[in-house]
Amino acid sequence: MGTIIETNNLRAYYITKAYGVERTVKAVDDITLRIQEGEVYGIAGESGCGKSTLLRILLGAYQPPLTVVGGEVIYHLDGEEMNAADMSDEQQRDLKWRTISYIPQGSMHVLNPVRRIRDTFHDFISAHRDVTKKESFQLTAEYLRDLGLPEKVMASYPHQLSGGMRQRVTIALATILWPKLIFADEPTTALDVVVQRGVIQMLKDVQQKEGSTLVLITHDIGVHANLADRIGILYAGKLVEESDTKTILESPRHPYTRYLIESLPSLDSREERLAIPGRPPALDRPPSGCRFHERCPLAKDVCKTIEPELIEIEPKHFTACHVVEEELNGGHSVYA
């Protein structure tokens, strides 16, 4: 199992210029990721920390004002190494759906309201495969049956389906061509917990059937706990901690991650949960040094001036924190 997609020191900023005032929002700043073939990689963080932006870049679906200003995204697909920046529109288009697919945030409105579900499926399938309408209907019917969706949704219009059903149909639509790499942006947000459960199970099924790679973005740690093999914690456009799900949930090291995990309600303790003090910083003028220092109870002087590097504090557990680094005293920077 090799790497399927990697980023090296990726920087992507929203650069806007109006009336001579330039504004730069550093939504993704110096992120290095290696996502392995066949794994479920979770990306977690608060709203506005750059999760969706990172996903857009990974997916190659972005337009100005979002600009990649540094670093690179490399796909390892079909035994070939492809740099996203060097690919033509044509190549990008060829990859979509057959190899790389996307389950969008807020699936409520991604289905054309005046088109029957089966026709939408035909549009998406025929864009990548030479099929007749009848063939795509058959393919769709089989796939929906496999995923346990009622066949009558085929002839329905989107407004006739419930929110959970629409989300499941969208997942089916995104994965009908068995892509190797699936990106899912908040696939369970805005669904009630019972429906969430079904959607999570379905994502699991889809991923396991073909051994696809799933990159899952959500702020809901519970969903990550259910699905993800590894989790990367994003804070203010930076990757602050990364490890396997068990480690992140049981022994997080970065103070931010610890807050995130500790704020989760638990069954055996009824005491009030601690919230993270303060608010996430605005990314057009991020704090100096460690971006978390303003909200961090452990912050020292060094945190205010020097940016901590992501270091491997134990095998496959990376964190970017001066305090943790000092404690270890002798940890080494991984990507240096």
139 binds another protein (CB under 8 A): no
What residue type is 248 in one-letter code?
Answer: I
Q: Which stretch binds another protein (CB under 8 A): 124-132, 216-224, 246-254, 303-311?
A: 124-132
Considering the complex, state which of residue 42 and residue 104 has its C-beta at the smaller distance from another protein.
Answer: 104
| C-alpha torsion angle, residues 234, 240, 245, 250 (rounded to 10) | -120
- Near another protein in 178-237, by CB under 8 A: none
Write down the least CB distance from residue 215 to another protein, Å. Answer: 15
Is 284 a binding residue for another protein by CB under 8 A? The answer is no
- Which of 34, 76, 128, 258 lies at the binding interface for another protein (CB under 8 A)? 128
Q: How many residues bind another protein (CB under 8 A)?
A: 25
User: How many angstroms separate the Cα of 84 from the Cα of each of 2, 26, 92?
Assistant: 18, 20, 8
Query: Of 153 and 323, which has the nearer Cβ to another protein?
Result: 153
Binding to another protein by residue 114, rule CB under 8 A?
yes
Does position 308 bind another protein by CB under 8 A? no
CB of 184 to another protein, least distance (A): 13
When asked if residue 63 is in the footprint of another protein (CB under 8 A), the reply is: no
Say whether residue 96 binds another protein (CB under 8 A): yes
Q: Which two tokens stand for residue 17?
A: 């210029």
* Two structure tokens written together for 228: 């993800």
Token pair listed for 311: 């270091």
The amino acid sitting at 67 is T
Q: How remote is the C-alpha of 303 from its chain's centroid? A: 28
Residue 55 contacts residue 185 (beta carbons within 8 Å): yes
Is residue 129 a contact point for another protein (CB under 8 A)? Answer: no
Minimum distance from residue 316 beta carbon to another protein (Å): 33
Q: Considering only the stretches 21-29, 44-52, 107-115, 205-213, report the one whose residues sit in contact with another protein under the rule CB under 8 A.
A: 107-115
Lookup: tokens for 269: 């303790």
Apex CA 240: angle with CA 279 and CA 4, to 5°? Answer: 125
Spatial distance between the Cα atoms of 279 and 213, rounded to a whole number of angstroms: 33
Q: Which of 220, 175, 271, 244 is nearest to 46 (CA)?
A: 220
Give the interface with another protein as residue ranges (CB under 8 A). Answer: 59, 61, 93-94, 96-97, 102, 104, 106, 108-115, 119, 123-124, 127-128, 157, 159-160
